[in-house]
Structure 1
Amino acid sequence: MNRSGKRKRRKERGDEAADDDASPSSASFDRHVFPVLLAAAQTTSQNRNSCSPAALAARLLRRVLSRPRQMLSPLPDSLVALLPRLLSTSCSSVAALSCEVLGAAALRSMEAGEVLASDSCIASGLARALGSRSQRVTEAACNSIMDLSASSVGRERLAGSPVLPRILYVFSQVESIREFVDSRTTKYPKRDTEANKIFYLITDTVVLLVNSCKLDKLQSIQKELVRTALSLLHKVWKKVQLLRSSADCNNGKNQLQSREYEICKAIFRLSIDLASPTCLEPDVVRESIFGQTESSFENFVLAYWERSPNLYRRKQNTRNDDPVFAALHSAFNLGAAPDAIIESFMEGLVSCPAIASDELDINSFLQEVHDSLGDAIMYRQDIRVLRTQDLSDQTSRGCVMEEHFFDDGTVFLDEDTFTKKCKHSFKNGYSIALRGMEFRFAKVAAIASALADLFGQPSVGANIYFSPARSQGLARHYDDHCVLVWQLLGCKKWMIWPNPKPLLPRLYEPFDPLDGTLEDNSGRVEVLHEGDMMYIPRGYVHEAHTDVGEPQINAHGGYSLHLTLAIEVEPPFEWEGFAHIALHCWVEKQKLGGSQFDKSSAKKETSLFAIVLHVAIRLLSSNDPIFRKACMVAAKLPSPSACATAHLKALRSSQRSTFDEIIRNIEKNCSFKEALESIKLAVQEKNDEHFQWMSWLRHLPQEGDADLRIDFCNILEALEELVEAFSSDPEQALVGFTGFKSRFCRCVVYEYEDACGSFETLLQMYRTTRNQYMRGMLALHGAHVS
């Protein structure tokens, strides 16, 4: 009787019996639960009848979620196989509850979460759930993504799936996001409405996935979708900054959980593969700066480059027809009063942290800057406000101390207050010098990028200098890079002294102090008028001030604004660098062929001799000026026409002649003993500081056995091995090195498939990373905001 009664009651319970069997760990799952869920997945009906498949499935999924968490791990394979269909069903309750089951399983076990996140079918189902018209489903899908992203593996898998483009699309379509960024209030919404909550959740999901996605996956997302999302994300970031500075801001639990630097990182990463908003071909920039004829640039390189200053005058009636000059003139509102000009290049500035000169992985840079990305600008790193007084007293001293308006390291959190102080300083004789203009203004970036292509260098920097009447900003000095000074507004008087030293200064090396022997009458004096450009080679001492001595020139109240374009020659792209690349390429070819190198010992000896010759070349370059000049074998020259062919051939012939001269110098003057002594000293002192310059060689490919490769980032180990190998018989080592050097100098090839090709490949690697950095910083400055 009791047994019969139990049977009867169980029968009457009907679907509740199925609920009891709904535990994913139950052996009866496939018999009782799976058919109901499958039916719900197949139906398109929104029937709310309690007996409909969708209603039964919803009850089953709720019962699954109500079970202890250990019952969710692992999910039955049949349920995992069914989840993609459940996530895509038109029944919002079933789809939302399926998302919750996914999230609960991920929270129960990180391993299970990684498996689920790696399932491409589940990822596609989540992507479809994100596109649901039901806000409940979208919210549940976002929460599920967050739960599945608890581990780095889960985040990376979902970020590389269809989930990311779908959430970007949803982000760009949610109306509450546009309402949030367009509202003028400086207060967070007082009520946590459903619209606010879904906005916060979608934004947090976007930031998380973008920052977890590999760059090659980001590059595959439709560019127009990226631009739209990028524009909105930038506005969200700016609104968050505004709210943060508001006294009313209190960090409630339902507000954005993404930190500002995380939003910045997402903006940066989304933008690094986008084409620049403004693009100028190298030929357009070349014609604007050096002249209309095709031979003008080659003429400049042969006659002036790294040799002597040169002035390019612009005719008053033609400068406005120049597209490059016109682009710059419009970028900074130069037709306005000084206060408005200052506002035009101060608005929305963020700090541009330095990127290592040999950094070729943008992710490493992002990891290095971490939570400082998007910070307010910092004094000296980004901007200087300074003046140099007592102009007439500089002759005897050579250089005077500059007076700065702000203290070193000052961070300007309040943009309006900072701008007001800059305006005040300008009225009191201080010049404003803003660095990194190529990272802040798209039009400047386009010019800098084109110039870098033209000169065959990784990058060109750009600074702007705004000086009041009768003033001098920077004191008398010289630079470690060549500059093109472009006068954009007003006029300025320049004095330039010849470079008395045969060796050009190098980037990143300490400056020699000015000796105070420069006389005013020994320098060249030029007054730059609006549109004029002056080329000043690195190492040439110069100063500039707005007291031009021409009273009739007062169109702009005596103040001046000019842009400097700095052609920075990185160490690998000097002729010394080319010599190292040529040596490396030749050695790699020797390792791969030739019977005399078949033995491992011979290959090892070759590698060690190569290190000694690298060091000897470095020592030679410290005294031979030719090694410090820029190598321009990768310069993007114009297509030769009949009239320009002679100049083009002369330029190419000049590059080849320089290479031949360098090889002769290496064969004649590279000293084995001098190089070995410097290596021994480093090994003895356990200090490889003087060999850190070799670190960029790690970017050149090394073939052959792994144990024969040189770790240029940990060069001390290789130096110790070298000293040990050559100490037993130094005379024999000298003979071997002499033969090695002679073979190199006799056989090295100046051809594309050898040194020239490797040089261009390395240059492209440098340029890729620099361009990624530039695009990222431009995006933080709003370059992609529509």
Structure 2
Amino acid sequence: MRKKNKRKLQLTSESILGVGDSHRHRGGKEIHGCHGSGDRHLSIERAKKASKSGCITDPWGSNRRRTLVVAMVHLFLFVGKGERVDYGRQELVIEALESIRRACLSSRLQQDETIFQGLLAVMPALLRSNGDSVLVRSISLVEDIVLDSYQFLMNLIRETSVLHKLLVHLGSADEDIQKQVCHLISTIASCVHGKEILCRLGATQKLMYLLFMVTEPIMDSINGKDVLRLSSNLLSNGQKFLCSSVLCSLSKLTLNNVSECLGTVWQGCQVSALKPLQNVWTFFRNTSLYPVDDDEIRAVAKMIVSLTMELESLDDEFNDSHMKIIDDLFGKEGEFTHFWDEHWEQYPSLISEGVLGGELRLDLFKSWQIDGDPFFLRKLLTRSTTCPPFSCDKVETSHIFKEIEEDIGRPIIFGQDIRLVKSVCSAGCSQLCSIHSVHEEDYHKVIRAENMNNAEKVMYADVETCVHAYEMGYTIALRGLEFRCPHVAAIAEALAICFGQATVGANLYMTPSNAQGFKPHHDDHCVLVWQIKGSKVWKLWTPKVPLPRLYSQHSGIERGCTDEEDFCKVSLKEGNILYIPRGFPHAASTQTRSQTPHVCSEQIKSTQRFTNCSRGSESCMISRGYTDKIHDSTPTFHSDSRCVNMPNFFQQVLEDNIGQSLHITFGVEVEPPFEWEGLIHMALQCWAAEDKDIVLGRKVLKAEGCETSGTKSKYLYLGLLHVAVRQCGDDCSTFRKACLIAAKPPFGFYGINEFGSTFMALIDNVANKASFRKALNIVLTAIDTPDSNSLDWMHWMHNISGAQDSTIWSDPVTFFHSTLMDDEIRYKRLEDMEIEFSQMKDSFILCANYAQASDVFISLLQKYRSVRQKYMKGMLYLHN
């Protein structure tokens, strides 16, 4: 009985095809088939004719599902049991595939697991076919069904053996097959799970290799040549389309997934892939020979940055190259020592012509091709992309990359990367007036007004717009020069190591003749102004607020300063360097000496109010023999190792024709963790982590265990003590000075032990000045102020604290609010809370450990510096 049923089943499947000793039953009638050796050939001929007529179908043509089943059975028959499709059946297989494709797309069938599994079962054999046409049609069919059926896509993703065989064909010699595989990869990568499987199977590495192979003619031609002069015939039409397909696949595969994709690439391949990726990016970014979608080429940029940021390359030792840079900038040991002791964070200083040596500037001239190019910046801007900012307190590479990923590879952005600005008279005069009647005019606002309906034009800065603005008298200010030029990056790195800071930024300013870019202002970082070409007149005023913190906002800094008194004027020539400490108001222009100062009626009305400029003094506690340097004297400038008072400073004759100017500013940014105040915060955290049992009143607060009210009290007072330390820093500028314990000057005359007395003096300041009521008032004000960011400065401390108290730093306002609302705390008398706060403060003062805090300081600085260096090198790879 079993044998009979098995034979009947075989006959039924054969009857569908009409072959062998079959009987086909239609409507109850018996139809006899043909017999003999020609039966199989005849059925194949019938299938062939049916395929040409449109699709293989039953006589009525109404049952589309049965039509699809018939075509699938034909496909199984033609493929056979072998691993490959032989040459004799390739045409029939192609016709069956086309029939299946037409049936699927025209019928919009319900998702059928049987059909899907059948097609996937035969795919390995199809993908092993000897015929290129079969491969192309098979892959195309799968892509069409995937686009039409999410269920089939999920089934395909589970069949890793099919995907593996599919990826093998990226190495095919046939461009059509490679393109079809790329298209299918792009489709599968639209699913998150599909991306993960493809990456795990090595799709990223195979696509990168294919990209390098297809662009090999470009790579051979790009070496030693200007990419703008390359021929458009380097690639054939087929190579152009294949290149676009590969880039599209990489774009879809790496979308919001770059780090994960590249993590599956062999590490040795990651390093070797950087240069080819850079060449591909450089070529397609800077030429219009081959049209490529922006998102596709930006995928290459993201891979470059991601790969570069994963490389371990931190070098914070002061080596010979750094020594040479500092020597060129500051001169010999005696001159640098004088600058360090007498001017750093105290008074402006001028380093004269000749000290620089000229080699650094010559390197810049060569790299930028300044000589012979009336507007070299055109080339620099053409090859520039945006350098996205990221959160300053992030120390994890992956977190930073996620933050900047969306903008990597985009054009330079107005306001973020570049500004076009000029100072004009508020009264509409043709000449500049004093600072009281001058305002800044931003060309971006002009563009925005003229292109309200063109968002891309408003956001991105094109080269011709910048050139036009420059010709109209606007200064071009380009941010992040250390990310775009390796020579500038080397100088910035040397300065950061020398001054013991995490980073030094570099901006480029190009000002036309007879113009002023920015109105008088102050910076929140120390600036080294390096005059590269031309010359520029600078005016400096005494500061009202000494040593402002980074990212701080002080309004009215320039008030009290007039053009008529209490300022100094100097003309910077090529090679000169002017050091301006943070907080000193300044302005620069290319105005000629022959111009007569112009006074507006508005200025005359307000001049009387500002005849005496404030010196900006402050009160700072003096203890243990420590004397804080107070900014209450007229600034002194340094020139040729000689100091002179500000009113008589550089009585030099300015050139009659200043002309155009090009200068670079190096900003030494003292970030909150690396001020002296930051070191005190670190000492406080070290003490809190070590002192497990803190006695407050009659209670012993445990630092470990469940979060009881006692534990909350401990963290409340700890947070308030940090706020009180911040308040001490507001009142005393020494807290805001750069902590130099990690500085590595070229002559090695500083060390950690040199600063112990400074640390203890600041601890004494906290002991005497830290106020519970002031700290509590600051916290309550932050809680009562909607969208307050007055406690955001605490965020960086999550990098030095444990997971248990991380809530304080991630959202301090919410922490303080919830803790103060705790039942046991909210009903406490204010006097009792103040006593407990004082007990905690006294315990910290007695146990503050300078050596321990210094270790934390240096460790955190290395983390900051490491991630900044990785970001910088990633951006440099995009620009060079």
Instruction: Please say whether Structure 1 and Structure 2 have the same fold, judged by a TM-score greater than 0.5.
Output: yes
Alignment pair present for 1:229 and 2:269: no
Q: Deviations over 1:759-785 (max 9, x none)?
A: 4454445445544554555455x42xx
Give me the whole-angstrom Cα distance separating, in 1, the residues matched to 2:750 and 2:114: 70
Q: Deviations over 1:184-240 (max 9, x none)?
A: 99999xxx9655543432221122223343426436443343332343244334446
Name the aligned partner's letter for residue 809 of structure 2.
Answer: F
Give me the whole-angstrom Cα distance separating, in 1, the residues matched to 2:81 and 2:683: 66
Partner of 2:326: 286
Partner of 1:335: 371
Alignment pair present for 1:319 and 2:319: no
Give me the whole-angstrom Cα distance separating, in 1, the residues matched to 2:868 and 2:114: 46
Name the aligned partner's letter for residue 691 of structure 1.
Answer: L
Partner of 2:618: none
Give me the whole-angstrom Cα distance separating, in 2, the residues matched to 1:305 and 1:699: 28
Partner of 1:49: 88
Alignment pair present for 1:666 and 2:774: no
Alignment pair present for 1:211 and 2:255: yes
Partner-residue secondary structure (3-state), 1:648: coil
Name the aligned partner's letter for residue 270 of structure 1.
Answer: I
Aligned pairs for 1:490-501 (under 5 A) are 490-501=534-545
Give me the whole-angstrom Cα distance separating, in 2, the residues matched to 1:567 and 1:165: 40
Work out which of the residue numbers 461, 468, 476 in structure 2 matches 1:421.
468
Q: CA 1:671–1:552 in structure 2 vs 1: closer, same or farther (change >3 Å)?
A: closer
Partner of 1:641: none
Name the aligned partner's letter for residue 232 of structure 1.
Answer: V
Aligned pairs for 1:83-122 (under 5 A) are 87=127, 91-93=131-133, 95-97=135-137, 99-100=139-140, 102-103=142-143, 106-107=146-147, 110=150, 113=153, 116-117=156-157, 121-122=161-162
Partner of 2:646: none
Aligned pairs for 1:422-571 (under 5 A) are 422-426=469-473, 431-469=475-513, 471-517=515-561, 522-546=566-590, 547=592, 558-571=659-672
Aligned pairs for 1:119-138 (under 5 A) are 121-138=161-178
Partner-residue secondary structure (3-state), 1:576: helix
Partner of 1:604: 712
Q: CA 1:535–1:745 in structure 2 vs 1: closer, same or farther (change >3 Å)?
A: same
Q: Deviations over 1:411-437 (max 9, x none)?
A: 5778464254245235xxx54433332
Give me the whole-angstrom Cα distance separating, in 1, the residues matched to 2:178 and 2:126: 14
TM-score (norm 1): 0.77
Deviates more, 1:328-337 or 1:768-777: 768-777
Give me the whole-angstrom Cα distance separating, in 1, the residues matched to 2:22 and 2:147: 41
Partner of 2:180: 140
Q: Deviations over 1:550-599 (max 9, x none)?
A: 77969x97433221111122223322233333333443444699994344
Name the aligned partner's letter for residue 297 of structure 2.
Answer: I
Alignment pair present for 1:384 and 2:420: yes
Partner-residue secondary structure (3-state), 2:670: coil
Alignment pair present for 1:401 and 2:438: yes
Give me the whole-angstrom Cα distance separating, in 1, the residues matched to 2:467 and 2:276: 34
Would the aligned equivalents of 1:398 and 1:516 in 2 still touch at CA under 8 Å?
no
Give me the whole-angstrom Cα distance separating, in 1, the residues matched to 2:119 and 2:837: 70
Give me the whole-angstrom Cα distance separating, in 2, the residues matched to 1:744 and 1:77: 71
Partner-residue secondary structure (3-state), 1:712: helix
Partner of 2:838: 738
Give me the whole-angstrom Cα distance separating, in 1, the residues matched to 2:163 and 2:745: 49
Alignment pair present for 1:648 and 2:727: no
Give me the whole-angstrom Cα distance separating, in 1, the residues matched to 2:652 and 2:785: 61
Partner-residue secondary structure (3-state), 2:740: coil
Q: CA 1:287–1:110 in structure 2 vs 1: closer, same or farther (change >3 Å)?
A: farther
What's the offset of the Cα at 1:48?
2.0
Give me the whole-angstrom Cα distance separating, in 2, the residues matched to 1:269 and 1:498: 48
Name the aligned partner's letter for residue 378 of structure 2.
Answer: E
Q: Deviations over 1:322-356 (max 9, x none)?
A: 3x33222333433336x334434443444555444
Would the aligned equivalents of 1:433 and 1:464 in 2 still touch at CA under 8 Å?
yes
Partner-residue secondary structure (3-state), 2:198: helix
Give me the whole-angstrom Cα distance separating, in 1, the residues matched to 2:690 and 2:533: 55
Name the aligned partner's letter for residue 443 of structure 2.
Answer: F
Name the aligned partner's letter for residue 648 of structure 1.
Answer: Y
What's the offset of the Cα at 1:408?
2.5
Partner of 2:211: 171
Partner of 2:812: 715
Would the aligned equivalents of 2:413 and 2:461 in 1 still touch at CA under 8 Å?
no
Q: CA 1:488–1:462 in structure 2 vs 1: closer, same or farther (change >3 Å)?
A: same
Q: Deviations over 1:698-729 (max 9, x none)?
A: 4445234xxx6415343333112221243322
Q: CA 1:772–1:462 in structure 2 vs 1: closer, same or farther (change >3 Å)?
A: same
Give me the whole-angstrom Cα distance separating, in 2, the residues matched to 1:735 and 1:444: 54
Would the aligned equivalents of 2:435 and 2:519 in 1 still touch at CA under 8 Å?
no
Partner of 1:151: 191
Would the aligned equivalents of 2:139 and 2:184 in 1 still touch at CA under 8 Å?
yes
Alignment pair present for 1:727 and 2:770: no
Partner-residue secondary structure (3-state), 2:246: helix
What's the offset of the Cα at 1:482?
0.4
What's the offset of the Cα at 1:681?
3.8
Name the aligned partner's letter for residue 352 of structure 2.
Answer: R
Would the aligned equivalents of 1:397 and 1:516 in 2 still touch at CA under 8 Å?
no
Name the aligned partner's letter for residue 744 of structure 1.
Answer: F
Q: CA 1:614–1:78 in structure 2 vs 1: closer, same or farther (change >3 Å)?
A: farther
Name the aligned partner's letter for residue 677 of structure 1.
Answer: N
Give me the whole-angstrom Cα distance separating, in 2, the residues matched to 1:84 and 1:587: 64
Alignment pair present for 1:347 and 2:372: no
Would the aligned equivalents of 1:432 and 1:467 in 2 still touch at CA under 8 Å?
yes
Alignment pair present for 1:309 and 2:309: no
Give me the whole-angstrom Cα distance separating, in 1, the residues matched to 2:781 and 2:466: 53
Name the aligned partner's letter for residue 328 of structure 1.
Answer: L
What's the offset of the Cα at 1:488?
1.4
In structure 1, the gaps of 5 or more residues are 244-254, 639-643
Would the aligned equivalents of 2:378 and 2:463 in 1 still touch at CA under 8 Å?
no
Q: CA 1:138–1:737 in structure 2 vs 1: closer, same or farther (change >3 Å)?
A: same
Name the aligned partner's letter for residue 169 of structure 1.
Answer: Y
Partner of 2:614: none
Partner of 1:251: none
Give me the whole-angstrom Cα distance separating, in 2, the residues matched to 1:660 and 1:133: 73
Q: CA 1:694–1:122 in structure 2 vs 1: closer, same or farther (change >3 Å)?
A: farther
Q: CA 1:197–1:13 in structure 2 vs 1: closer, same or farther (change >3 Å)?
A: farther
Would the aligned equivalents of 1:378 and 1:409 in 2 still touch at CA under 8 Å?
no
Partner-residue secondary structure (3-state), 1:340: coil
Give me the whole-angstrom Cα distance separating, in 1, the residues matched to 2:777 and 2:524: 29
Partner of 2:850: 750
Give me the whole-angstrom Cα distance separating, in 2, the residues matched to 1:409 and 1:440: 27
Q: CA 1:38–1:96 in structure 2 vs 1: closer, same or farther (change >3 Å)?
A: farther
Q: CA 1:453–1:108 in structure 2 vs 1: closer, same or farther (change >3 Å)?
A: farther
TM-score (norm 2): 0.70
Partner-residue secondary structure (3-state), 2:802: coil
Would the aligned equivalents of 2:345 and 2:547 in 1 still touch at CA under 8 Å?
no
Q: CA 1:58–1:288 in structure 2 vs 1: closer, same or farther (change >3 Å)?
A: farther
Would the aligned equivalents of 1:385 and 1:431 in 2 still touch at CA under 8 Å?
yes
Q: CA 1:131–1:401 in structure 2 vs 1: closer, same or farther (change >3 Å)?
A: same
Partner-residue secondary structure (3-state), 1:384: strand
Partner-residue secondary structure (3-state), 2:816: helix
What's the offset of the Cα at 1:634?
3.8
Would the aligned equivalents of 1:267 and 1:776 in 2 still touch at CA under 8 Å?
no
Q: CA 1:658–1:91 in structure 2 vs 1: closer, same or farther (change >3 Å)?
A: farther
- Whichever of the two has the greater Rg, that structure is 2
Give me the whole-angstrom Cα distance separating, in 1, the residues matched to 2:338 and 2:142: 68
